[in-house]
Every structure is written in C-alpha cells, then in structure tokens.
Chain A
Amino acid sequence: DIVMTQSPLSLPVTLGQPASISCRSSQSLVHSDGNTYLNWLQQRPGQSPRRLIYKVSNRDSGVPDRFSGSGSGTDFTLKISRVEAEDVGVYYCMQGTHSQGTFGQGTKVEIK
C-alpha cells in the first residue's frame, strides 16, 4: 500500500498569513503514462470534500489563486498565500496513481 503522510496535522494560522501543508508518499506517484495523480482536497465543516488541485499543480475552476500546489515524485506541498476565514477546514492529499488510492491523514486549518 502507498502511505501518504501529511504534516502538520494541525495548523493554526493568523488571517492574512501564509500556510503550507506537506504531503509525502511512500513511493513515487509518477504514473506509467507520465502523469502524477496527486490531488489536494478541502473539506469544510459539515460538507463533502471539494477538490482544489489536481495533477500536483492544476487549480480547479473557481478555486482562488491564493491556493497553489507543487512538488514531484514523492514530495508535495499545498500553499495558501494569505489565509482567509473561509479556508477553515481539513485538507487532504490523495494519490490516484496506484491501483489502490490513498489519502493523507488530513491537516486541520484553523484561525488563531
């Protein structure tokens, strides 16, 4: 099984300040087709998850440009350039490269 390890698991942030979440996989996420199926999801309290970023760095339609994804191979990062109140929630990385999908444990973002 591919293990996805996120850090930190809890992230208190001041409004307007940046935030960064790391996600590391136990094996490379580069697929045989050349793509890297690493996604970032946001789950606000009481809601279904919502995808923010796909294939490492592609932002979904409607996602604010303060969200960005980067990385390669086994190390990936989600950055929020300036945290807003609506960003509170849990963020998950998820790999779809390997036949068994895997999620990270989740990082809870809260406002200080």
Chain B
Amino acid sequence: EVQLVESGGGLVQPGGSLRLSCAASGFTFSTYWMHWVRQTPGKGLVWVSRINSDESRTSYADSVKGRFTISRDNAKNTLYLQMNSLRAEDTAVYYCVRGLDPDYWGQGTLVTVSS
C-alpha cells in the first residue's frame, strides 16, 4: 500500500525557517517524481515545487522561488521541503504528492506563520 506521511509542520514566526519531511513507503520511491502542494484552509490547491527521481531537475512556483528548496534522499525514501524566510501567506496545509501525474497524496502537515 502506498503511503506518504508528512511531518515537520508547526507554528513559526515570520522570517523563520522550517523543514518538512515526507516519508514514503509501499512503492519504489527512487523512480518517481514528487511534488509539494499547499492549501490554505478553505481555499484551493496551489502547486509549490517538484523534483525528478534523481534530483537533477527541480522547479518552483514563483511565490516560493529563492526561499524554498525541495530535495530527496532515495536511500531513506524521504522527500523534503526546506522553507526559509517564511511569510504569513505561506500558512497552509502542505501535501506531499507522488508522480508526474500526481496520483497519491499524503494527509498533509499544517504550517502556520504568525507572530
């Protein structure tokens, strides 16, 4: 069974940093593209970033470019999102998603940026 379990969310002050993790299981993690997608409570889905299977290709939404970094450790079956210079508008539930055609989604982890 495919499982994606996000962790690392929480309350952080504006300007602060946070690293999200996504533990993957039930499939061959090293062969899949992976994404991060976020959703402000009560609002729509917003694509954040994606990474290919061997980390050679990454891309970011303009709103996070230069502040967020996506990475992965295929030996640990784990996807990461390093978030720096956080802003109030980054407050959202962050989902880890599998595949170039996103098929499996995690349950999400809530990031709240507030003083």
**Chain B residues within 8 Å of A, Cβ to Cβ:** 35, 37, 44-47, 50, 59-62, 95, 100-103, 105-108
B101 A49 Cβ-Cβ under 8 A: no
Least CB separation from A39: chain B residue: B101
B45 A92 Cβ-Cβ under 8 A: yes
**Chain A residues within 8 Å of B, Cβ to Cβ:** 1, 37, 39, 41, 43, 48-51, 54-55, 60, 90, 92, 94, 96, 99-106
- Distance of A51 Cα from B37 Cα, bound (Å): 14
- Distance of A100 Cα from B106 Cα, bound (Å): 20
Q: Return the contact of A94 from the options B62, B102, B107 (Cβ within 8 A).
A: B102
Pairs of residues from A and B, 5 with the lowest C-beta to C-beta distance, nearest first:
A101-B47, A54-B101, A99-B59, A48-B105, A103-B45
Least CB separation from A105: chain B residue: B44
- Distance of A37 Cα from B50 Cα, bound (Å): 14
